[in-house]
Structure 1
Amino acid sequence: MAWNEPGGNKNDPWKNRGGKDQGPPDLDDVFKNLFGKFSKGGGNGGSGKSMGKLGISLLVGLLVVIWFVSGFYTIREAERGVVLRFGEFYTEVEPGLRWKPTFVDSVIPVDVQSIRDQASSGSMLTEDENVVRVQMEMQYRVVDPFRWTFAVENPETSLSQALDSAIRYVVGHSEMDDVLTDGREVTRQRVWEELQSIIEPYNMGVSIIDMNFRDARPPEEVKDAFDDAIAAQEDEQRFIREAEAYAREIEPRARGRANRMNEEAQAYKEQIILEAQGEVARFEELLPQYEQAPQVTRDRIYLETMEAVYGNTSKILVDSQNGNSMMYLPLDKIMNSSGNSSQNLRNMVPNLQVPDLQNNGRGSNNTSPSSGLRNSRFNNGGE
């Protein structure tokens, strides 16, 4: 049976101590007995009184030493100390070993060099009434320990709530495609600016170092469809870049061909103009000769024209004035020969009149085989 069970249990350790019915000791009686001993010691004469004073002095000295030693503290290199005197701001202290009067001053160390993180995520409604899940992370640093400690009641909670408000405001004023695809950087920048405008009136003594857009995705029910849409947009951008690269590659070549064709056309134009001017000059030179002998000049012009026309054909002119004998010539070999085929034909057949293939039938003495052409007949393949 336990000693504290009801029913008159006599196993209570504070009862029957020393054979008497006794309860737990009283603290007032303990202190009274202690000071009574010091009083009795003082009643034994001067030595007892001095011993009592010495004990009190030692006790007070020990308490003073403990109080003095307890006042030493250390501020680390990355921290600044905010000193409060009787609960009111007193000063700020730099890193190092410091001392403060215990029970008078209190010190709150604040880290002012470390980069702190604050994340926020949640499902949000966009401007086009779609639901997206956004996760962003903020990095900040404390620049004013006093403002960080006393500007707001809980600065970390206030920052978290301000970040949530900024994200929801920006996402609520953006379309879903902008948040999920190519507008992520713009959204990140807008959230940063909105957060700055929210915390600026509070003057919390913090500086926003960076804002990271960690994730943005649609609800799981439509995730596959949005993945396909994003892949299609990426393919579109890729095709556009490939088309631009092809245009940059083909455009210089097209410009080169166009310039070459323009130059060729210009050269052809100049050639035709010069040829026409040459013909005009030639006819101007023939005009006096025509006035002197019109019929002879017409016949000569006719014969020269026919010589130029038939000089580019496969016809062979044979002089039949000395007889109508049929001649068999290796015409295929003659026509496939080089530019001296006319001279070869003249050497083979003395009476054969053919146009010169190199100078279009004109001899070196500017004469033409007009006499042979008048009384000749055209043979094609031995006819």
Structure 2
Amino acid sequence: MSVRRILTGVGIVIGSALLLVVLFTSWYTVDESEQALVLTFGEANETITESGLKFKLPWPIQQVEILSKETFSLQFGYDQKDGEIESFPKETRMITGDENIALADLVVQWKITEPRDYLFNSEDPESILYDATSASIRSIIGSSTIDAALTTGKAEIEDEVRELLSSLIEKYSIGISVQAVQLQDVELPNEEVRQAFTDVTDARETMNTKENEAEKYRNQKLNEAQGEEDAIKLRAEGEKAARIEQARGDVAIFDKLYAEYQTNPDVTRQRLILETLEEVLPNAEVYIMNDDGGTLKYLPLNPLEREQQPPVPTEEQESEDGQS
């Protein structure tokens, strides 16, 4: 009886242990920032991307590998820990297309997109990514000029590195997707060369500034000249219109005078003579003399003004005044 009881107790203990194993290994949780790969007897079976409490067959039938869905950063050429940056110049030194030496470091943003390939196609996917990054940046820098790498060509270099790196990672099938590539710094290997290049860059910027100022001055003068041209044209158009209207008025006056002349030529002729004398000699006193020198007729051009002034004495009045 005692042996049977012992065996029964052992069976109960084993059954309880197995039950606990089943209970604790049949459920797992996937967070929103995680993804899971279910393994059945060590073989990849299913990828779980939805979060929540999940069920699986108990261990050792099925196991679960939990991987992150977050974006990781790979630092090439330097390492940053506790706010301190450590550079690796041997890794970042490379030759440009115009046979200059440059130091280039960058950051690669990547994430796990295929958990099965990430776990089973390579022992160290991050090491492969690092080597592919080194090959990509050296290839692109090697086909670029030092001027482009240090100044205006950085954005284009980043795009080309990202495209080349993405194609390499796709060929390696390590379950990684490259999200972005950011050049952190591209510089020359020593201080003297850096200073010389800085001087060249400053001179180029000064040249660009002068060219912009000259273009601005040119545009200003062109606008001023265009404004003066428009003003002259407007004045000319105005003067042209005024002269045309004046000519039309003169023609109208001439037509009226001609009509009057046809009706009464003598009167019109005398009127024109008087008006012309009035216009040419506004303040003069005109006498009409005969061939013997005697006064025939006094011609007042401004009769109203003459009425306000004393009469001019004749020769007989002057002789009488002298005798008296």
Say whether the 8 Å CA contact 1:75–1:98 is kept in structure 2. no
- 2:186 corresponds, among 207, 216, 219, to 216
The Cα shift of 1:99 comes to: 4.2
Partner residue, 1:228: 199
Whether 1:124 and 2:90 are equivalent positions in the alignment is no
Partner residue, 2:140: 170
Say whether the 8 Å CA contact 2:117–2:173 is kept in structure 1. yes
Whether 1:77 and 2:48 are equivalent positions in the alignment is no
Partner residue, 1:238: 209
Whether 1:152 and 2:109 are equivalent positions in the alignment is no
> Which structure has the highest strand share of the two?
2
Say whether the 8 Å CA contact 1:83–1:89 is kept in structure 2. yes
Residues of 2 paired with 1:192 and 1:251: CA distance?
46
Residues of 2 paired with 1:206 and 1:247: CA distance?
55
Residues of 2 paired with 1:273 and 1:58: CA distance?
127
Residues of 1 paired with 2:132 and 2:114: CA distance?
19
Evaluate the alpha carbon distance shift between residue 103 and residue 255 of structure 1 in structure 2; reply closer, same or farther with a 3 A threshold.
same
Partner residue, 1:101: 58
Partner residue, 1:58: 12
Say whether the 8 Å CA contact 1:125–1:172 is kept in structure 2. yes
Residues of 1 paired with 2:121 and 2:216: CA distance?
57
Residues of 2 paired with 1:171 and 1:100: CA distance?
52
Partner residue, 1:92: 47
Say whether the 8 Å CA contact 2:56–2:62 is kept in structure 1. no
Greater relative contact order (Cα < 8 A, sep 6+): 2
Residues of 1 paired with 2:106 and 2:171: CA distance?
23
Say whether the 8 Å CA contact 2:169–2:177 is kept in structure 1. no
Partner residue, 1:253: 224
5+ residue gaps, structure 2, are 78-91, 259-272, 285-305, 311-324
Partner residue, 1:321: none
Matches within 5 A, 1:8-23: none
Partner residue, 1:111: 68
1:48-93: per-residue Cα shift (whole Å, max 9, x none)? x223322432342243134324415332222121122222112223
Say whether the 8 Å CA contact 1:166–1:194 is kept in structure 2. yes
The Cα shift of 1:177 comes to: 0.3
Moved more, 78-87 or 173-182: 78-87
Evaluate the alpha carbon distance shift between residue 57 and residue 232 of structure 1 in structure 2; reply closer, same or farther with a 3 A threshold.
same
Partner residue, 1:195: 165
Residues of 1 paired with 2:106 and 2:25: CA distance?
43
User: Helix, strand or coil: the match of 1:200?
Assistant: helix
Residues of 2 paired with 1:60 and 1:270: CA distance?
119
Two-structure CA RMSD over aligned residues (Å)? 4.5
User: Helix, strand or coil: the match of 1:161?
Assistant: helix
Say whether the 8 Å CA contact 1:127–1:176 is kept in structure 2. yes
The Cα shift of 1:232 comes to: 2.4
Evaluate the alpha carbon distance shift between residue 150 and residue 249 of structure 1 in structure 2; reply closer, same or farther with a 3 A threshold.
farther
User: Helix, strand or coil: the match of 1:136?
Assistant: strand
Tell me how many residue pairs correspond in the alignment: 270
TM, length-normalised to structure 1: 0.56
User: Helix, strand or coil: the match of 2:171?
Assistant: coil
The Cα shift of 1:181 comes to: 0.7
The Cα shift of 1:270 comes to: 7.8
Partner residue, 2:150: 180
> Which structure has the highest helix share of the two?
2
5+ residue gaps, structure 1, are 1-45, 286-299, 309-316, 318-345, 351-383
The Cα shift of 1:203 comes to: 3.6
Evaluate the alpha carbon distance shift between residue 201 and residue 247 of structure 1 in structure 2; reply closer, same or farther with a 3 A threshold.
same
TM, length-normalised to structure 2: 0.64
The Cα shift of 1:267 comes to: 5.9
Residues of 2 paired with 1:179 and 1:91: CA distance?
45
Kindly provide the amino acid, as one letter, of the partner of residue 85 in structure 1: T
Residues of 2 paired with 1:110 and 1:248: CA distance?
62
User: Helix, strand or coil: the match of 1:201?
Assistant: helix
Kindly provide the amino acid, as one letter, of the partner of residue 209 in structure 1: Q
Partner residue, 2:317: none
The Cα shift of 1:186 comes to: 1.3
